[in-house]
Amino acid sequence: MGEKNGNRSRDEAIEKIEYYIIENKLAPHDRLPSERDLCEMWGFNRSTLRSAIQRLVVEGKVYQKKGSGTYVAEPKLVRNLQGLRSFSKEVSDNGKSYADRILSLDMIESNKQTTKKLHVPLGHNVYVLTRLRYIGEEPVTIENSFIDAKHFQKLKLHDFSRESLYEVFEKEYGIQIMKGEERVGIAYATEYEAELLNIKPGQAVFYLTGIVYDEKEEPVEYFKSIVRSDKVRFASVLKQK
């Protein structure tokens, strides 16, 4: 009987763990029983249980502390692919706190990519604002914003660790974001990105690129972002025409 149970699947172990969390009403940051206790409780072998836990870690449902154990994770932030709300608005509307750390605000010459995306001449001055964005105390995304320096000359006067970029667009320049386009793909964190995001190098992350436009349908910002897949998930509302 023990040998048969020892060969049970990882998916079954995942279901057992998820049901245990629900049944025992475990809250975020509550600790799960030890791997040994869970194996004895359900008759799984250690490798199957560890594989299940690692899958739940990747999915952002639990997290581990070295030498301490496995804990229930905070629910992921749900971002609407069809929405135009800023990161700060999305986080606050989900009842979570946020913060930004400015990594750099530099001026570069436009290359072929930014020339095409922002509709500016090749070699044109472009601001690059790079932010490390937090939910609570956890870093979740590295965001690069490319902005036409000619139209937004006073960007360096603003503290974007405290101010919203889109609010500055509106209040300082009278520009409202009206629409945008966004693409989501999968990438793997470099050592630099992993260090900033507090994850392992090579871990799967979301890679986002997109453009936002003003009321005249002129591009205002071209962005590229790396997002932790264990902290954020993307959803889209489907409607029948």
Number of domains in the chain: 2
Q: Is pLDDT of 4 > 50?
A: no
| Domain membership of residue 154 as a residue range | 77-234
Q: Is pLDDT of 81 > 60?
A: no
Angle at alpha carbon of residue 15, lines to 9 and 21, rounded to 5°: 140
- Single residue among 23, 55, 72 that ends a domain in this structure: 72
| Residue predicted with more confidence, 235 or 238 | 235
What pLDDT band is residue 127 in, cutting at 50, 70 and 90? very high
Whether the model clears a pTM of 0.85, i.e. scores above it, the answer is: no
Same domain, yes or no: 120 and 210:
yes
Instruction: Give the orientation angle of helix 46-58 with respect to helix 10-23, to 10 degrees.
Output: 70
Phi and psi for 155 in degrees, rounded to 5?
A: -60, -35
Q: Is pLDDT of 237 > 60?
A: no
pLDDT at site 14: 93
Q: Is 94 helix (H, G, I), strand (E, B) or coil?
A: coil
Tally DSSP H helices, then E strands, for the chain.
Answer: 8, 10
Instruction: Give the orientation angle of helix 35-42 with respect to helix 10-23, to 10 degrees.
Output: 100
Instruction: With beta carbons less than 8 A apart as the criterion, state whether 46 and 39 touch.
Output: yes
Of the segments 49-58, 63-72, 217-226, which one has the largest average pLDDT value?
217-226
Q: What is the CATH number of the domain that holds 6?
A: 1.10.10.10
